[in-house]
Structures are given as C-alpha cells and as structure tokens.
Structure 1
Amino acid sequence: MAHPSLIKSIGEKVLGHNGPVDLNDICGPDKVLGLYFSAHWCPPCRGFTPQLVAFYKHLKENTKHQLEVVLVSSDRDDTAFHDYFNDMPWLALPFTETKRKIRLSRQFRVTAIPTLVLIDSRSGRLLTRAGREMVTSDPEALNFPWRPRPIGDILASTKLVDTEGQEVPYETVKDGYKGLYFSAHWCPPCKAFTPQLVTAYEKIKKKEGNFHMIFISSDRSEESWRTYHSTMPWLSMAWEEKDARRELASNLEVKGIPTLVILGPDNSVVTADGRTELSEDSEVERFPWRPQSVEVLAERHMSRLQESPCLVLFTDGEMTELQFGRDVLLPVAEEYLLEHSEEGGLALKFFVAGEDEVADSVRDFACLEDVVPLVAILDLAEGAKFLLEEGVEVSTATVHNFVTRYTNDKLSPLPIRPVTTSATNTS
C-alpha cells in the first residue's frame, strides 16, 4: 500500500507500458519509490538515463531490494514524452498531469533535471533527493537505498580537534546546541563572515553555555585548513575526515559556503540558514533561531513566496495590528503545519505584513487592492491567488475556515502574473 501522502501527490494510478498501474501495487513495506524528473530534450538526462536503466535492471536481477521508478517528464509534447518513455523499463506519470508534475517538483524542491528522488513508499518519507549522484557513485547498489545516517552518528564516528590539533571527544559536545560551520579559507565571503561569527559565538556562549561550534572545512589543502582553523575559537572536524565532511554536506543539503547550520541537543536541525539569521539578529537575542509558525514578511522571505504557497495577512503596519495578525494566524498556522509537515514545498507558509516596500511589492505583483486587513493565499509558481471574501471579519475562525477550504480544493483561484518555474533547468 502507498502512503496516503503519495497518493495525494502522485495520484491513484500511474502509466505503465501496457496501461494504467495502481500506485498501491508498486508500494509497500521495504519498497522504495523513485521519482525521476527528466526530459528527452535535456542532454544531461539522456546521459544519465542509460545509467539509471542499468542500475534498475541490476537491482531487479541481482539484489533483494525493491525499487520502482516513475518518470516525471518535463518534455514539451506528447510525442517526445512517449519516445523517451518507450526506452525506459519503469512507469511514468501521465504526460497530461501537468499540475501534478509542477506540484511534485515543488514538493521535493527539484530545481534542475535530471533529478532522482527516492522515497520510502510505505511511510512517504524522503530518503534522498540525490539519487542521481548516488547511482553514479554506487552503481552496484552496495549501500542502496542510501538512507542518510543520523547527523549525530556521523559526528560521533569522526575525529574532532581543537585549534592545537588535540582530539576532543564527541561526548563533550553531544548534549549541547551545535553550530556546523561549512566554510573555507579560499572563499572571500567566508573570510568576511568568520569574524562576525566569532563575535556572535562569544555572545551565544554567554547566553547558552552548552553551545559548541564545529568547523566543516572545504579547504583544498591541510595547510590552508590549519591556518583558517587557527582564527576560530572552536572545534573542527579533522582534516582526514574527508568522507564525513562530504556526507554531512550531502545530508544537510549544503549548496554553498559559508553555511551555518544550527542543531539542537538532539541533533535535529533548528535552522539551516544561520548566516541569514545572524545577519538579522547580531545580538543573538533570538538564538537558536527556531523557525516561527508566523513571521513578519521581510525581504529575506521573498524567495519563499516563489517556492511555496504563502498566506499573508496584510495590515497597516502598526505594532498593535502586526500583533493582532500574529494572534489571528498563530493557532491556524500551528495546526496546519502539524498536519502537513510532510508536504515540503507544497506546505503553506504564514506571514503578517505591514505597510512597507516589501509588502507593497507583493501587492503590486499579485495585483492586490490596497486595503487592510486583507488575507490572501499566493501561489506564484502556479499563477494563482485566493482571497478571503470581502466583508468577512478577519478572525482565527474565519482564517481557519479559509485555509481548510484551500486545503480541500474548495476555493476558486484568481489569476496572478505567471512566473517561470526553475524545475526545467538542466545541470
């Protein structure tokens, strides 16, 4: 049986070479579902597809592992789709399911093709978005299905050293908050940020004594690593731990440096964007920078408006009105986020906005009237907006009803200016 979240995202049936196939028939205990985002027009896709075919057949013929793959096509017409699909031994999302393709790309944050996303089909949990890289590096499937090791296990199994090169047991940092600092001496933005982080580190230590930083180096030589680490008053993963550094970066989806990831005492990720959080909270008053269910819309949130559907309650910007907005939205947001935690890029984000340049630009782009209070759900990627009906009092109850109707597809979308999805880029 497929997890309900997968049926909702993919549909009850997928396309086989001989007709429709029930999703439930290819899912179940110990079965891995691969979503293969690809297209015939994409040269990197055509290069990777034969590798994936060989890997798929190897699994079927030589191992006990159970993998089924579903093509999620970015082809431009039905003919190209079928020409490409005919050379594949697996299944596909029907070409006409355009909306589902867009939503799957957003749900699993697919920003380029080819991408192979692997999911535990019974629980619906994401195993990895880096299936392409895994197939390439492990063609014999020796470590399939590449379930990521817990962060704590990686840290516990590696060597940590202080600035003098002395080994420090993981037990000394195990139960505290941890900052993982991905950085390198050769990187100008890193060298500019590190002094700011040193200052912040000293402030955090005064506030939260059980806090530890660990430098995760991307340096090109041991000498550069040692030189750079000597400027930091915290620990580092030892130079020889190359594989562990790569594994951490992969598990935490670190895309560039400098990156600051804050972990809780249980090694769960509190925030993967510590650098931005620090830039907006230099006095570290909000440390450890836990995500808020409802945030005040700011410039740094603009990318989120592009990536995920967002509910925005526009106010006149007075402190009392911003607080009113938070009070209205908070119970709705907390309930919603608890129920929809597995939806990734499809889950609503909640914001309260004032009267400033950021709010004005959002209003202008979405063609919203300049009235307050105004409640809108904006789904820029799908070119849609949903408005709480005019004349309805803005309250927790009415917003809750509004969100429930949105979740159950009971609202009629209004058009918004279209935006170009990035899921058709190649890499």
Structure 2
Amino acid sequence: MAHPSLIKSIGEKVLGHNGLVDLNDVCGPDRVIGLYFSAHWCPPCRVFTPQLVAFYNLKENTKHQLEVVLVSSDTEDTAFQDYFSDMPWLALPFTETKRKIRLSRQYRVTGIPTLVFIDSRSGRLLTKAGREMVTSDPEALTFPWRPRPIGDLLASTSLVDTQGQQVSYDTVKDSYKGLYFSAHWCPPCRAFTPQLVTAYEKINNKEHTFQIIFISSDRSEESWQTYHSTMPWLSMAWEEKDARHELASSLEVKGIPTLVILGPDNSIITIDGRTELSEDPEVERFPWRPQSVEVLAERHMSRLQESPCLVLFTDGETTELQFGRDVLLPVAEEYLLEHSLEGSLALQFFVAGEDEVADSVRDFACLEDVVPLVAILDLSEGAKFLLEDGVEVSTATVHNFVTRYTNDKLSSLPIRPVTSSATNTS
C-alpha cells in the first residue's frame, strides 16, 4: 500500500507500458519509489537515463524493491512517448500537468535530471540526490541510501574543542544543539560569528543548555584552526570531511553561514537560525520553534513564493492580530498535523496587519482593501481562493474553507486579472 501522501501527490494511477497501473500495487513495506524528473530534449537526461536503466535492472542488489516513475518535462506528447518507450518503469501521465508542477514544488526540483527517492510505506523522503547516488553506487551495494539519523552521525564523528582536544558527543547529546555551517573565507560568516558568540553566551547565562558544533567549509586545516579559535564551542574535526558533507547534504544546506537548531532529541527545530537570531537578538524566543500561525513579515515573502499560504488580513490593531491568531490556530494545528509530509505543498498560516508587507501582498494579488479578509494564495500557480463575502470569520468557517481547499472543492481566481489586451486576437 502507498502512503496517503504519495497517492495525493502522485495520484492513484500511473502509466505503464500496457496501460494504467494502480500505485498501491507497486508500493509496500521496504519498497522505494523513485521520481525521475527528466525530458527527451535534455542532453544530460539522455546521458543519465541508460545508467538508471542499468541500475533499475539490478534486482539482486535492490532488496528494498525499487519502482521508478518518470515525471516528464517534455512539452509534446510525441517526445514524451518516444522517451518513455526506452524506459522499463512507469510514468506520470503526460496530461497531468498540474501534478507535475506540484511534484516539482514539493521536492524543490530546480533542474533536470533529478532523481528523488521516497519510502513508499511512510511517504518520507530518502534523498533528493538520487542521480548522484546512482552514479557513485552503480551496483546498488548500499541502496536505498537511507540517511543516518543526525544523532547517530554526530555520535560517530570526532568532535574537538578550540585546543584540538577530543570531546565526547555524550557531553552534548542531551542539549539543544546549533550546527553552524561556516568558513573563515566567507565575509558574511565572519560578520555573523560574533553575533552568534554573544547569543550563545546570553542563552547559556539564562541556564538554557545550548551547545554549538562548528561544521567547517574552510579550504585548509590552518584556516579551520584559525577560525575555530575565535569560537567558544566545539567543532567537527578537520579530518571528518565525509561526515561534514553527509551532514550538509542531509540538512540540505545550500549556503553559508547556516545555523541549524536541533532539540535535545536531535529533531530539527529550524534550519534558519541565522534569520531567527537577527530578529531576536536578545534570544527571548530561543530555541525559535516554528509557530503554526505567524504574523506576516518581510522574512516570510519567500515562503509565499514557495508554498500556498492562508492569510487572514486584519486592521493591524493588537486585539485584531490576536483575534486572527485565535481563529487560525486550531485550524492550522489540525491541518499541519495531517499534512506534515507534504513539504512545500502544505498550507502555511499567517495573520497580517496594516503595513507595507501586507499592502504589497494585497497589491500583487489584487485583493480588496477590506478587513477581515481570508485568502489562500498560491503565487507559484497564479491562483487565489477567497472566503466568500458575508461569511463571518470564525474558526468554524475557516476550517470549512481549508477543508474545501484541501479537497479541491474551491474555485480559484487568477492572482492578477487578465487584461483585455491579453485576450484580444488580431
């Protein structure tokens, strides 16, 4: 059986070479689904596809049975059919255009070929680096490359203090932990490190147990030692190059400086500790746990671009912002609990006031300047959904609104109205 989140994102049926196939029939315990984002027109894709075919056929080494589903970026059905005919696996039907877009968003696919591996039973992502893994392990000797738990990874590596003395992971394992990806050659890192030192001292002065582990991207051991000497915390040892790379890959660290905050159980609290610290320099909200409902601010604009978001617009008065939070919180907590595996496809919840950020969102989405106003905005798909005029804004009505959205029972409007000139033909 496929996990419900997989059925929702991929669909109940996928295309086989002899017709449609029930997704449940190719999922189950220890089975892995590979989503292969590719296209006939893409030269690197055509180079990689034969390698993937050879890998797919290594049934003796794929004890965790593998099924691959092509998610095509071809623009013509004939090109799709021609490309798919050389593949021994399944495909998302060519006509499922919206589903292709949503899958790309869900797994943050920025280029092709991309190969994503998912545990079909739990719906959990195993790796987005499937192409690299197939290339480096073509015999599938360590397939399915399940990522090591962060705690296990840290416990297996060598940690050192600023004097180069080894320190046991047991001394920090029960603490809140900050994984600080940084480098001496990086000017933003050198600017941020003193801020982090100050915050580190403030947090521990408040009797929080907080430990930081420096994960270096320095280019030489000397630079690493020089930089680490300015820090009052531990570092992963210089020789732990593979572990540093594995950790960065597992946490999808895209640049430096990056500060990842872990709970005592090594659960990820936030991967954006740098921004959290910049907005909370007195560390009053540490460990910066994400809120189910947040007040819309400038730092959230990227999330509006990446994810569908529900925004309750208010007049900005303190009592109205609190009203908005009270209305949304039960709905958000229930929704996020049920949709935790959907990644960037899951709704984010915000309450907005009367400020430049809210005004810019209203202007971009062509929303009326009325309050309260409840809207679901999906900027990447150019769609918006509005709670009907005359409906009282309450937890019950918002819950119904979200339920209808989740079940595709709402009619969307374009983010921006189509101009008359765009519809004229000559």
TM-score normalized by the length of structure 1: 0.95
Task: Please tell me the residue identity of whatever aligns with 1:145.
Answer: P
- Partners of 1:56 and 1:382 lie apart in 2 by 33
1:182-193 residue pairs with structure 2 within 5 A?
Answer: 182-193=181-192
Cα distance, 1:138 vs structure 2: 1.5
Q: Give the Cα separation in 2 of the matches to 1:299 and 1:14.
A: 40
- Please say which of residues 396-405 and 39-48 is displaced more in the overlay: 39-48
1:17 aligns with 2:35: no
CA distance in 2, matches of 1:77, 1:305: 31
For residues 325 and 21 of structure 1, the distance between their equivalents in structure 2, rounded to whole angstroms, comes to 45
Give the counterpart letter for 1:255 in structure 2.
K
Shift of 1:207: 2.1
Match of 1:48 in 2: 48
Match of 1:393 in 2: 392
Matched, 1:408 2:407: yes
Alpha-carbon distance, 1:109 to partner = 2.1
Q: State whether residues 307 and 347 of structure 2, in contact with CA within 8 Å, keep that contact through their aligned partners in structure 1.
A: yes
**1:342-368 deviation line (CA, Å, top 9, x unaligned):** 111111000000111111111111110
Matched, 1:37 2:40: no
Deviation at 1:382, TM superposition (A): 1.7
State how far apart, in whole Å, the 2-side matches of 1:150 and 1:302 are.
Answer: 31
User: Which SS does the other structure have where 1:385 is aligned?
Assistant: strand
Cα deviation 1:306-350 (Å, max 9, x = unaligned): 111100000111111111111111111011111111111111000
> Which secondary structure does the structure 1 equivalent of 2:166 belong to?
coil
Query: SS where residue 35 of structure 2 aligns?
Result: strand
Q: Name the residue aligned to 1:424.
A: none
Question: Secondary structure, in 3 states, of the residue corresponding to 2:249?
Answer: helix
Distance 2:399 2:62 in 1: 49
- Residue 78 of structure 1 is matched in structure 2 by 77
Secondary structure in 2 matching 1:282: coil
- The 1-side partners of 2:44 and 2:227 are apart by 37
CA apart distance, 1:63: 4.4
Q: Which amino acid aligns with 1:229?
A: H
Deviation, 1:53, is 1.6
Following the alignment from structure 1 to structure 2, what is the Cα–Cα distance between the partners of residues 111 and 285?
A: 36
Paired residue secondary structure (2:138): coil
Aligned equivalents of 2:215, 2:62: Cα separation in 1: 36
Query: Do the aligned partners of 2:74 and 2:80 also contact (CA within 8 Å) in 1?
Result: yes
Q: Structure 2: where are the runs of 5+ without partners?
A: 418-426
1:280 partnered with 2:266: no
Relative to structure 1, is the Cα distance of residues 208 and 138 closer, same or farther in structure 2, using a 3 angstrom cutoff? Answer: farther
Q: What residue in structure 2 maps to residue 108 of structure 1?
A: 107
Kindly indicate whether residue 251 of structure 2 is the aligned counterpart of residue 259 of structure 1: no
Report SS of the residue matched to 1:304: helix
Residues 35-184 of structure 1: pairs in structure 2 closer than 5 A: 35-57=35-57, 59-184=58-183
Q: 1:340 to 1:19 in 2, by over 3 A?
A: same
Distance (Å, rounded) in 2 between the aligned partners of 1:203 and 1:136: 46
- When residues 65 and 397 of structure 1 are mapped into structure 2, their CA distance, relative to the original with a 3 A threshold, is closer
Q: Is contact 2:61-2:141 (8 Å) kept?
A: no
Q: Does 1:2 align with 2:2?
A: yes
Q: How many residues align?
A: 417
- Aligned-pair distance for 1:111? 2.3
Q: Deviations over 1:276-296 (max 9, x none)?
A: 111111111110000000001
Q: 1:208 Cα deviation (Å)? A: 4.0
1:113 and 1:335 mapped to 2: Cα distance? 35
In the alignment, structure 1 segments of 5+ residues that lack a partner are: 419-427
Aligned equivalents of 1:26 and 1:275: distance in 2?
Answer: 42
Structure 2 CA distance for partners of 1:142 and 1:417, relative to 1, 3 Å: farther
Superposition deviation, residue 61 in structure 1? 5.0
SS of 1:216's equivalent in the other structure is strand
Q: How far off is 1:44 after superposition?
A: 2.5
- Contact in 1 for aligned 2:62/2:143 (Cα 8 Å): no
Query: Relative to 1, partners in 2 of residues 1:63 and 1:331: Cα closer, same or farther, differing over 3 Å?
Result: closer
Letter in 2 for 1:32: V
Equivalent residue number for residue 28 of structure 1: 28
Identity %, equivalent residues: 90
Distance in 2, Cα, partners of 1:255 & 1:417: 32
Q: CA RMSD in A?
A: 1.3
Q: Flag as ranges the 4+ runs of structure 1 deviating above 6 A.
A: none
